[in-house]
Every structure is written in structure tokens, then in C-alpha cells.
Structure 1
Amino acid sequence: MRAHRIGVVGAGYVGLTTAACLARLGHTAVCADIDESKVERLNRAEVSSYEPGLAEIVTEGLQAGRLRFVLGARAATADADIVFVCVPTPVGANGSADLSQIYGVLHEVRDALSSGTVVVIKSTVPPGTTDDVGRLLDRSDLDVVTNPEFLREGHTVEDFLSPHRVVVGAGDAAAARRVAGLYAPLGAPVVLTDPVSAELVKYASNCFLAMKLSYVNTLAELCECTGGDVDAVTAGMRHDPRIGAEFLRPGPGWGGSCLPKDTQALLRAAESVAVDFPLLRATIDTNEAQPGRVLRAVRTAVACSPERPVDGVRLGLLGLTFKAGTDDLRDSPALAVADLLAADGAELTGHDPGVPAGTQAAGPVRVVDDAYLAAKDASALVVLTEWPQFGELDWARLGEQMRHRVVVDTRNHLPPEPLRRAGFRTYGTGRSAG
């Protein structure tokens, strides 16, 4: 395998993982960021991301001399033969993807790129962006390729080194094969296609997963209204190979850095070419309704009525991140629920293994470093994130801290028997109270 000189622009969880893993595969990788203190920390192998294995392979790459971190995009790209652009594409004012950071990087590095360099758009971008980038660069001696990432937060190293597929979109077949060759040692299926199709693969995948989650949350509501048990329903569904087992767990809604922005971006992309996408619109609307369902469930559990506010009630929240295994609070459904509970008058104390005590990013929630502190004097505990640690708590001890032994388990995450033995009344999602 030929070793390449890789430039990576952006040291977020995608860029950092890309640079470190390509160094692990034997390439030389230079990763750039605009945060000077972050660059200094990374060159000392200080990785703050909540990503198992990432700190180890960063250390390995630095020690082997195959990985280093620099300030500014030009410093990472001038000597590279393949450049990965891994900068954020957040939701813009109208819901479409904001590509300003991508275009800013390309303007910065355009004249510094060596002839023959392949520019790889790793960021999630709307259909047509790769072609737009080629026109912006306006250099016939460069190739522009899109290579969308499929990295789950909390599993980025695992997903990069053991991918389900590698997707490369390019107008030039040789450039596509060159980028695909980087992943050859991983033995993953490779999809080589045109840029627009490759861009759509990422959006189509994430939006399909979002639809599954909204679908199962609506099933949970139907079960609550008819006396069914959503866990039994989904257990029966999972055995059908056409449906599969993943993304069939109900909860307080989906969030994070990808699904909310990608569903909005694909919807806007469809609207821009006059394509009606009611299924995707319903997926988003259903998700936006979930925090309100949780509020009504908490009211029912604490105040015995879905319409009676929980004004002055102390509640303990277990979980604040958008999912377990990450420290990411962006678009967290747990915080959306917390905002509604606070507006309803509740006093909120929360604990999350990924969020340090005292953090201000949790809005109305006073964050503590211990689940038992979150439970102190609470009229109910509300489980909002599926951290495995919560299933291992001493529920008898928790009950002793609380005013009332009530749990609202929005994820159906907790084992029921320890709670029953400790005298708790449990309210789940899509099933009867226990």
C-alpha cells in the first residue's frame, strides 16, 4: 500500500478521528484547527473527546512521527497529496446546511494546494456541493471527491476502522479509486458513485434512521392509548430481517449533532427542487412533539394529571446528553425536556456520567456528580439518557434520598425488578405503569 501525505482540516470528532486513524493505517497525517490551545493540547496527546481508543491512537501516531497538529488550514494542506475537509456544516437560518466554513477553508488553501492534490469533502453537505467546490477552486490540476463520514459519537474509532461501507463520489474514476484505496486495509464494501449520489447517501441514511425513531415513538404513544406494550411490539418486529433490530427503542426524541441538522437539510434540499417530502416532514414534527409527551408523563406521575403543572416540585434527572457514551449536549432531547419542566415550575437537579458537575451548558439543570445527589428530596427521578450505570444503581438507597419513590423511565432502560423490590412506582414509555 502506498503511504500518502494526508492533510486534515478540522480537529473535531470527525477530523481528529480521520487523521489519527489514517496515521494508524500507515499514512502521514497533519491535522489543522483554528484553536491554538487545542492544537497545543493535541500535540501533547491530550484528547478531551469522549471517544474510546482515540487518545491511544493519537499518542501512537505522535510517537511514530506519522501524526501532528498545526494551526491553520494552509499549514496542513501545502504538502499533502490528499486533503480532507472536516469542518462543521450546521443548520443555517432557513434550515439548510450552512457551508460557510467549508468555503472559507477552500478560499484559504486554494493557492497553496499542490498540483495533483485530491480534495476530499468529508463534511456532510447537500447534493451538488462537491461540484460547486470544484467550480470554486477553479483548478483543472485538482480533483474534488466526496467521502461522507458514518461515525457515531462515542464509537468513532470503531466505526472508522471497522466500517459497514465506504462511499466515494467523484467525477474522475482515478481520483475515486485513490481515495477508496486509503480504506483498502479495512476490507469494507466500497461504493463508488457520482458526487451527488454520494452526498445523498449520508442524508438518506441519517434521515431513514430518524424516521425509524419517530415511528417507534408514535407506536409507543399508541401502546399507551390502547394498553399495549411497546417493548413487546418491537421485540416482535426485530425478528423480521427486512426491519432489523436497530433504532427501535422509544425515548424522549432524537437529537445530537447529526440527525436534527441532516433531516432539516434534506427537507430544504428537496424543497429547493420542488420535491414534496411529507414523510420526512412528519418525522421532524413527530420528534418535536416528544418533549411535550414526556412533560405530560411526568405530570401524570407526580401530579396525577397530564394537565396539572409540576410547579415547585423537585425532580432528579438521570442523563443529559443526547445519548449514552458521549459528552455531547447539542440538540439533546433531555435538555429539551428539562426546559419544558423548568417552564412548568419544576426545580431540576441532574446527573450525567459525561457531564461534569456545575456545567452551565445544561440550562435550567443544576448538574451534580452523583446520582444520589440528584435524587435527594426529589419527588421523582426522570431517566432521559440510557447510560448503563443507571441500571446498576442501589435503588433502595436512592429511595431513601427521595420524597416519593417514583421513576419516569423515558427510555425503558431500567431493570424493573430492583425498582419493584425498592418500592418504586415506575412509568415507562409505551407501557403500563409498574
Structure 2
Amino acid sequence: MNITIIGSGYVGLVTGACLAELGNHVFCLDVDQAKIDILNSGGVPIYEPGLKEMISRNVEAGRIQFSTDIKASVEHGEIQFIAVGTPPDEDGSADLKYVLAAAKNIAKYMTSFKVVIDKSTVPVGTALRVSHLIRTELDAKGLVDLNFSVISNPEFLKEGAAVEDFMRPDRIVVGSDEDEAGLYARELVRKLYAPFNRHHERTYYMDVKSAELTKYAANAMLATRISFMNELANLADIVGADIEAVRQGIGSDSRIGYGFLYAGTGYGGSCFPKDVQALSNTANEHQLDLRILRAVEDVNNLQKGILVNKIIKQFGEDLNGRTFAIWGLAFKPNTDDMREAPSRVIISELVRRGAMIVAHDPVASEEAMRSLRLDFVDAPELLNRITMVEKPMLAIPDADALIIVTEWKAFRSPDFELLKQQLKTPIIFDGRNLFEPSVMSEHGFNYQGIGRHN
């Protein structure tokens, strides 16, 4: 099939590369010439395991191309994926200007039937808006008989495992209309996703609004589990319980399961924060207060400061003369995504209290500095207090404590004796509970995890 992907960001690139891997001919469009230049020179503007190799393989095979030519992109694909960003607006709602701009461009250049697929995360009712816009544009050009169909096909990709998630999906959600055009479009999408359904049916067909809501509901549920466990972890700290034992105790219940029950410093990234806000905003527009989601967001915002609170309790409010080593900056492992990353809150709080920071992340250091420049736009001189190093142990010498913020596998088995020798004081603030408190005590560390009772 000839497929067009509008938007060559995270979702667009993964979708395009994976569909090309299955033998489709994919045209990836983006209005950012610099991004297209990177892709055409063999680079990839984001870090995602396996993505660069997959793109290179399909470029060489002639199954994927990258361009800023909007007209050519519309002409190329009978199926047009809209995979552009939907950043939060000032009120927390999803900003749909890029989605609607993409739809307008499709209407401007289309001369034959198109299936328009909303891959972007969008609020309920977006497909209807897209459909109305395209119909209005076509009618204005006198193309009243030119038909199309808008489908909702949300993505369910975990950063750091997106290629695997796309190629081996838990489910594929397709929302379409029941009219003639919608049924034809559904059949095209069925053929497109047939390779994923060879062993068993993974596709769930439903109406468009239900598909749009499914995406937000999934992320809101996962965010709720995280905030729930973080609140329990804070209680465990106070009463002397071990949140890891609690996690195993409740996770063994088949009705609950183990996924997303790990306590930590809160969630971040491009999805959970904005999707929880957007879902709440949609409810507010209909005079409904989603109180659970409001609490989820409040808990998460407080949790990002939990390590700072532990550090202040240990060292006091004034951190002048103190140096802290930080392992992990990205909001999760296997990505360089710094959006809403807890490390940004931690670094900002510590530096503004006078501390020096020496930090390491396997892939996110450069992106972290770009993000931190925004966080310190009011006091850019404070950036001089932050140093990035290329290896974890280079952050350690003479640090007053080690702070672990992201659970990269490379951090799981350090040389504890060398770590203890090089730290000024043998203190570890573990925001991801990588280590066992009893083992840390045996090594002579003052170990402070999240809800871990020693």
C-alpha cells in the first residue's frame, strides 16, 4: 500500500518505519526542513532503540522517503495518517492547530478518495472536526462529490519500546463510521493491519468517539496506578512498611497485576501529563469534574519533589557548598525525552538552593541541557552550577550524595565499594528503588529509597 505519514516526530517516524518494514511504500512529511534534512542524511532526530536501523534498512530498500512537499504527500497515499503533535494549550486542553492544518492541506490537494487516520492523541470529537473541515474545503472548491473517510486509530507506544510495541501490539483500536465510505475505509485499514493479526485478532473496531476516548482512558488509568503507588509509598515511609513487599502482595492478585505499580519520583514524558490534563479538560467542557484524575495530577506534581524533601531533611534548606551526583535525566530509560521529567524539578530545586550538580545520562545529556536552559531562563547564570559527564562514575568524586532519578539498566550493578570510597558521604537517594535497603546497609550506605523500610 501507499501510505502517507503527516508529521515525522516520535509517533510518525515509528509508524512510518514499521509500516515500511511490512512492505508498504511510505511517504513521511514534515514542515520542519531541518528535521527532514537529518532524516535524508541518515540521521534520526529522536532516540528510540531499533528505530534508526529500521529506517536505514527501508530507505535502502526504497520503501520510505522523507520530504516537505505537501502536494506530493497527498498524492502519494490513499491512506493519510495524521501524526502531528497535540501539545497542551494554556488551559490544559489539547491544541489541535497542527491536526487541523494537516487536514486542511489534505483537502487542498486531494483529487481522489482518501482515508484520513487520526494517529495523534486527540480529544473526543476531533474526527468530526477534521471531517467537517475537509468537507467544507472540498465543497468550496466545487468537489462536492469527492468522498473521504476519517478514522480514529490511536497509538499505544511506550517510549523506549515503541518499535516492539508497534510490531507486536497488545491491541489495535480502529474507530470508524458505519456509512459506505466508513466501511470501505475500515476494510482498507483491515488489510493494512492484517500482518499483525495472523496468529490472533488484535484489532478492536468501534465508533470514532469511543476510539478517541480509549486512548485517553488507557493513559489515565496507567497514570492513576503510578500516583496510587506513590501515595502508598509515602505512607510506607511514615509507618515503616516496605512498598516493594506491598507491590508484590497486591500485584500477585490477577485482578490487579504488576504493571505500573512501581513507586518513584512521579511520571513524566509527552503523554501521561498532557493526556490526564486534556481528559480532565474535556470533562470540564461538559460540566463534569473528574476528581480522581485531578488527584492523580496533584499527587504526581508533589511526587516530583519527594527526593528534594529527603535531601533537605538530610542536609538542610541551605545547600551552598554541597555537590550532588545525579544518575539519569530522561523521564524513563531508553529515551532522551526530557518533557516533564522529574530530574528537571529536582535539579532546579537543588541548584536554586545553592547546590552544584554533576549529572550523567546515557543518551539524554544534550537534550537535558536544552530543557534546563528553559527552566533557568529567569536565572541563566545558575546553569554554570550544572555539569554533564560521559560516564556514571565521573559524577561521583567528592559528591555529598548520589541521586538516582532514571532506572537505566547500566546503573543496576555499580562497584559499591568504589562508589562508597569516592562519595564525600556514603548517601544514596534512590528515586527508582533500584537497590535493596538491606544490601546497601551491608555496604555501609545511608540508603533512602521511596517507601523502602530498612
- Given the two structures, how large is their TM-score scaled by the length of structure 1? 0.94
- Counterpart of 1:331, as a letter, is E
Q: Give the aligned partner of residue 208 of structure 1.
A: 221
Q: Does 1:141 align with 2:141?
A: no
Of 150, 164, 167, the residue aligned with 1:161 is 167
Q: Give the aligned partner of residue 17 of structure 1.
A: 14
Offset of residue 90 of structure 1: 0.4
Q: Does 1:344 align with 2:353?
A: yes
- Counterpart of 1:182, as a letter, is L
Aligned-partner Cα distance in 2 for 1:359–1:199: 32
Identity of aligned residues (%): 38
Q: Give the aligned partner of residue 179 of structure 1.
A: 189
Count of aligned pairs between the two proteins: 426
List alignment gaps of at least 5 residues for structure 2: 139-145, 373-382
Over aligned residues, Cα RMSD in angstroms?
1.7
Aligned-partner Cα distance in 2 for 1:253–1:230: 15
User: Is the 8 Å Cα contact of residues 32 and 75 (structure 1) preserved in structure 2?
Assistant: no
Q: Give the aligned partner of residue 113 of structure 2.
A: 116
Q: Give the aligned partner of residue 29 of structure 1.
A: 26
Aligned-partner SS, 2:314: helix
List alignment gaps of at least 5 residues for structure 1: none
User: Is the 8 Å Cα contact of residues 330 and 368 (structure 2) preserved in structure 1?
Assistant: no
Aligned-partner Cα distance in 2 for 1:146–1:65: 28
User: Is the 8 Å Cα contact of residues 320 and 362 (structure 1) preserved in structure 2?
Assistant: no
Offset of residue 48 of structure 1: 4.0
User: Is the 8 Å Cα contact of residues 196 and 202 (structure 2) preserved in structure 1?
Assistant: no
Aligned-partner Cα distance in 2 for 1:165–1:147: 11
Offset of residue 229 of structure 1: 0.6
Of 170, 174, 178, the residue aligned with 2:176 is 170
Q: Give the aligned partner of residue 412 of structure 1.
A: 433
Q: Give the aligned partner of residue 291 of structure 2.
A: 278
User: Pairwise mapping of residues 68-83 of structure 1 onto structure 2 (< 5 A)?
Assistant: 68-83=65-80
Aligned-partner Cα distance in 2 for 1:19–1:114: 23
Of 256, 276, 279, the residue aligned with 2:269 is 256
Aligned-partner SS, 1:131: helix
Q: Give the aligned partner of residue 395 of structure 1.
A: 416
Aligned-partner Cα distance in 2 for 1:240–1:180: 35
Q: Does 1:234 align with 2:255?
A: no
Aligned-partner SS, 1:218: helix
Q: Give the aligned partner of residue 313 of structure 2.
A: 300
Aligned-partner Cα distance in 2 for 1:16–1:73: 17
Aligned-partner Cα distance in 1 for 2:70–2:226: 38
- Counterpart of 1:179, as a letter, is V
Q: Does 1:97 align with 2:97?
A: no
Offset of residue 112 of structure 1: 1.0
Offset of residue 170 of structure 1: 1.1
Aligned-partner Cα distance in 2 for 1:337–1:114: 53
Offset of residue 149 of structure 1: 0.5
User: Is the 8 Å Cα contact of residues 146 and 168 (structure 1) preserved in structure 2?
Assistant: yes
Aligned-partner Cα distance in 2 for 1:109–1:371: 48
Aligned-partner Cα distance in 2 for 1:271–1:372: 48
Q: Does 1:243 align with 2:256?
A: yes
396-405 or 317-326, which moves further after superposition?
Answer: 396-405
- Counterpart of 1:65, as a letter, is G
Aligned-partner Cα distance in 2 for 1:228–1:63: 56
Aligned-partner SS, 2:370: coil
Aligned-partner SS, 1:248: coil
